[in-house]
Homo-oligomer: A and B are copies of this chain.
Amino acid sequence: MTESSGLTHVDETGAARMVDVSGKDVTVRSAVAAGVVRSTTEVLDLIRTNGLAKGDALGVARIAGIMAAKRTPDLVPLCHPIAIHGVVIDLEPQESTVDIRAAVRTADRTGVEMEALTSVLAAGLALIDMIKAVDPAARIDAVRVLRKDGGKTGTWIRPADDGRQP
């Protein structure tokens, strides 16, 4: 076992590693992710009228989404722990679904698309927790990055047809 600085060696075995970003610049970076919770029209009525036994589903899901952005490095093994400088969660109830959108922004050395996805998933999880007593079949679909901005690679916008429709 040599005593070289260790991060630059080539590992030929495909072993997991946290890739080194110490040489990247601190710049403003942002990402927007989205997803949808599918339930029923009856449950959506309960959500809109705050009629659920466990309380205000949208309020709880919004805070779950914001707090989860801060937990991304705990959940995603190779994710860097980075600054989170802004999080906004939008929850739009539709006829039988809730659309979720999370926008995350940072000024740091790597992007925040994983943080935005984590926010969407946690908001979706929290929504399902609020409604599962009345709808055990609720599900989460279409969790995806919509766009990311900043950093060396610049802006990426999901194409209208991403070829991933089920």
Which residues in A have some Cβ–Cβ distance to B below 8 Å?
1, 3-7, 9, 11, 14-23, 28, 30, 32, 34-35, 38-40, 50-56, 59-60, 62-64, 66-71, 73-90, 92, 99, 101-103, 105-109, 113-114, 117-118, 121-122, 124-126, 128-130, 132, 136-149, 156-159, 162-166
Cross-chain contact of A81 among B15, B39, B70 (Cβ < 8 A) = B70
Q: Which residues does chain B contribute within 8 Å of A148, judged by CB atoms?
A: 136
Q: Is the CB of A18 within 8 A of B118?
A: no
Q: Is the CB of A3 within 8 A of B80?
A: no
Cross-chain contact of A140 among B69, B108, B143 (Cβ < 8 A) = B143
Known contacts A60-B78, A145-B136, A159-B137: A86-B18 contact under CB 8 Å: yes
Q: Which residues does chain B contribute within 8 Å of A74, judged by CB atoms?
A: 67, 70-71, 74
CB-defined A-B contacts under 8 Å, sample of 11? A3-B158, A14-B50, A18-B86, A63-B77, A64-B76, A75-B122, A77-B126, A136-B145, A137-B162, A142-B166, A143-B143
Q: Is the CB of A67 within 8 A of B77?
A: yes
Cross-chain contact of A1 among B28, B69, B101, B117 (Cβ < 8 A) = B101
For the complex, give the distance between the alpha carbons of A22 and B154 in Å: 17
Cross-chain contact of A125 among B4, B30, B69, B76 (Cβ < 8 A) = B76
